[in-house]
């Protein structure tokens, strides 16, 4: 990247960092009921809310994971309209369909139940309710929502996305193959409900990739230049919990302690990157999701160690600090950082996460992919090292294993 553009990006990031202290930051209120998610309907009813929209996906509906919650809503007299068509990389059409159901049922609040996709869809619905005169593409970018959403209760069924804590909703446009974030503090859910029992039935590949997704959030937040004392603490907690518990949860899906710790790790990592941002890993992963439907967690898991290698010396000091957190030793920062990156590679390999994304990316698409990744990353993401379009193009070939 040329010096003038680099100066512009770093100046922009510094201004955004300072401006963030003026924004209405908050964390979701963390709810943990004795009877798990079944405690939520009565909690909502006691808030004076009579009608809610439940947003989830068809897979969770078919597995019956939502049945207990829906039945409990009926038991306590909370009317529940159920939208279960959210798809991976939720689309504008998803949001508009769910919004129609919200309006037809005169709903007062939204429950997001699932992984990042139902949560992003639910946030999109909330944003449309808050800003009825703005279409979804008009809210692309940062600080475009500007109005308070209806109460949003987020119930994660994976331990990775951190969407229950974040100000981001990532939306895809199937017409343009574009995938982009809407970022606004108003999108942060008011409540997050953690129930580790909901993650027990997850397939191993979902446990692994969503877990490394959470690690990506923590690492990208920590090594960036937009940290506060709290975001550093949250990223450190998340990193430690993930290294201690992810493989346990992968090996034994019924290990409730490991499952609960992974949910907390995802929550902490979400708090970290909501304020400190993510980085180039996400910029590339979003394009792969938008163009080819590559699951976000899988993309992040594969790209993370590749990107950390690319950062080189610019990230060594902070990666060495994370190495200390997880007990990795070395003679100096460089050695500790390199061992930390290798530890991520080893963790991926132990859970059968591939090293590369093969036979997916089309060479003719790479110029467009690189332009979109660069546009997302710059000037917003405060990465240790900035990449221009040419460097992003080269990285797509690396991610293919070429």
pLDDT digits (tens, 9 = 90+) for 55-113: 999 999 998 999 999 999 999 999 999 999 999 879 999 999 999 999 999 999 999 99
DSSP-assigned letters across all residues of 309-351:
HHHTHHHHHHHHHHHHHTT---SSHHHHHHHHHHHHHHHHHHT
For residue 146, name the pLDDT band (cuts at 50, 70, 90).
confident
Predicted pLDDT of residue 16: 92
Q: DSSP characters for 148-182? A: PPSPEEEEESSSS--TTT-SEEEEEETTTTEEEEE
DSSP three-state, residue 52: strand
What residue ranges define each of the domains in the chain, with the CATH number in brackets? 3-18+202-399 (1.20.1090.10), 32-199 (3.40.50.1970)
241/177 Cα distance (integer angstroms):
35
Q: Can you tell me whether residue 66 is helix, strand or coil?
A: coil
Identify whether the C-beta of residue 153 lies closer than 8 Å to the C-beta of residue 30. no
Output the pTM of the full model.
0.90
Confidence band for 194, pLDDT divided at 50, 70 and 90: very high
Dist. CA 122–CA 112, nearest whole Å:
6
Provide the phi-psi class of 352: left if phi over 0, else alpha when psi is between -120 and 50, else beta.
left
CB 182 within 8 A of CB 140: yes
Strand partners, 53: 81, 110
Would you mind telling me the total number of residues written for the chain in this entry?
402
∠ CA 21-27-30, nearest 5°, is 165
The CA distances from residue 121 to 30, 89, 95, 126, 239, in Å, are 21, 9, 6, 9, 27
pLDDT of 238 over the 90 cut:
yes
Q: What is the pLDDT of residues 9-67, one digit of tens each?
A: 999 999 999 998 888 888 899 998 999 999 999 999 999 999 999 999 999 999 899 99
CA distances from 246 to 139, 206, 375 (A): 35, 11, 33
pLDDT tops 90 at residue 142 = no
- How far apart, in whole angstroms, are the C-alpha atoms of residue 201 and residue 65? 10
Spatial distance between the Cα atoms of 218 and 235, rounded to a whole number of angstroms:
5
CA distances for 186 relative to 54, 62, 207, 210, angstroms:
19, 31, 29, 25
- What is each CA distance from 84 to 98, 261, 288, 294, 376, in whole angstroms? 9, 28, 24, 21, 30
In the Cβ-directed half-sphere of 395, how many Cα atoms lie within 13 Å? 29
What is the mean predicted confidence (pLDDT) over 356-381?
96
Q: Which two tokens stand for residue 175?
A: 């017409």
DSSP state of 91: B
Paired tokens of 140 = 């692309």
- Percent helix, percent strand, percent coil in the chain, to nearest 5: 60, 10, 30
**H helical segments located in 179-312:** 204-223, 229-251, 256-276, 280-292, 296-311
Are 15 and 153 in contact by the 8 Å Cβ rule? The answer is no
Is it the case that residue 297 has pLDDT exceeding 90? yes
Q: With beta carbons less than 8 A apart as the criterion, state whether 272 and 338 touch.
A: no
Give the pLDDT band (50/70/90) at residue 236. very high
């Amino acid at each position: 990247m040329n010096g003038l553009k680099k100066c512009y990006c770093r100046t922009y990031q510094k201004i955004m960092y300072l401006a963030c202290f003026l924004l209405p930051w908050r964390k979701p209120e963390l709810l943990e009921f004795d009877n798990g998610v079944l405690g939520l309907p009565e909690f909502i009813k006691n808030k004076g809310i009579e009608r809610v929209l439940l947003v989830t996906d068809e897979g969770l509906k078919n597995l019956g994971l939502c049945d207990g919650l829906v039945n409990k809503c009926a038991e306590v007299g909370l009317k529940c309209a159920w939208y279960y068509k959210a798809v991976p990389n939720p689309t504008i059409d998803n949001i508009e369909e769910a919004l129609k159901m919200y309006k037809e049922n005169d709903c007062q609040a939204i429950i997001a139940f699932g992984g990042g996709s139902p949560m992003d869809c639910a946030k999109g619905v909330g944003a449309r309710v808050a800003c009825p005169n703005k279409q979804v593409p008009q809210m692309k970018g940062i600080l475009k929502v500007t109005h308070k959403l209806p109460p949003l209760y987020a119930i994660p069924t994976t331990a990775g996305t951190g969407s229950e804590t974040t100000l981001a909703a990532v939306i895809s446009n199937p017409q343009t193959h574009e995938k982009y974030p809407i970022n606004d503090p108003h999108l942060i859910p008011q409540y997050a409900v953690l129930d580790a029992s909901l993650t027990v039935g997850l397939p191993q590949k979902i446990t692994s990739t969503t877990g490394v997704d959470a690690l990506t959030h923590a690492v990208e937040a920590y090594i960036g230049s937009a940290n506060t004392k709290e975001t550093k603490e949250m990223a450190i907690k998340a990193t430690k919990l993930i290294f201690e518990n992810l493989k346990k949860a992968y090996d034994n899906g019924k290990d409730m302690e490991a499952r609960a710790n992974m949910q907390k790790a995802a929550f902490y990592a979400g708090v970290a990157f909501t304020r400190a941002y993510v980085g180039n890993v996400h910029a590339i992963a979003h394009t792969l999701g938008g163009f080819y439907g590559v699951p976000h967690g899988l993309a992040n898991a594969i790209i993370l160690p590749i990107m950390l290698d690319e950062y080189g010396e610019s990230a060594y000091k902070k990666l060495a600090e994370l190495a200390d957190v997880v007990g990795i030793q070395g003679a100096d920062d460089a050695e500790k950082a390199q061992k930390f990156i290798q530890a991520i590679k080893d963790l991926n390999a132990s859970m059968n996460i591939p090293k590369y994304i093969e036979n997916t990316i089309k060479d003719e698409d790479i110029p467009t992919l690189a332009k979109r990744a660069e546009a997302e990353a710059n000037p917003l993401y405060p990465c240790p090292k900035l990449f221009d379009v040419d460097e992003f193009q080269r990285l797509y070939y690396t991610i293919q294993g070429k």
